[in-house]
Amino acid sequence: MTLMNEPLNRNENRKKYCRFKKNGIKYIDYKDANFLLKFVNDQGKILPRRITGTSIKFQKKVALAVKRARHLGLLPYVTDSLK
């Protein structure tokens, strides 16, 4: 038995990455509400970059797509339980 603590959360030091850069996705479709669900929390708020790891270039596009989807009634503006 060592006195060192076991690392509790191994996911913690996994590096975040931008899924759009990694997968070469160039365009984010505002019509695909199911995909956009990955970038909002269960109240329907857009998740910050520090959680999703999206690069600034694509975060702006994600935000625009979510806002367009909201306008068209594909995503809610406010809600209690989305997921």
Partner 1 sequence: MELKNYETVFILTPVLSEAQMKDAVEKFKKVLTDNKAEIVHEENWGLRKLAYPIEHKSTGFYNLIEFKATPQSIAALELEYRRDEKVMRFLTVALDKHAVAYNEKRRRGEFNKKPEAKEEQAA
- Residue 33 contacts by C-beta under 8 Å, 6 or more apart in sequence? 69, 74, 75
- The smaller minimum CB distance to partner 1, of residues 6 and 39, is found at 39
Minimum gap (Å) between residue 56 Cβ and partner 1: 17
- The smaller minimum CB distance to partner 1, of residues 48 and 64, is found at 64
Beta bridge partners of 35: none
Minimum gap (Å) between residue 39 Cβ and partner 1: 11
What is the spatial distance between Cα 1 and Cα 14, in angstroms, rounded to a whole number?
Answer: 27
Minimum gap (Å) between residue 6 Cβ and partner 1: 25
SS (H, E, C) 36-66: HHHHECCCCCECCHHHHCCCHHHHHHHHHHH
- The smaller minimum CB distance to partner 1, of residues 5 and 9, is found at 9
Residues that bind partner 1 (CB under 8 A): 19, 22-23, 25-27, 29-35, 38, 68, 70-79
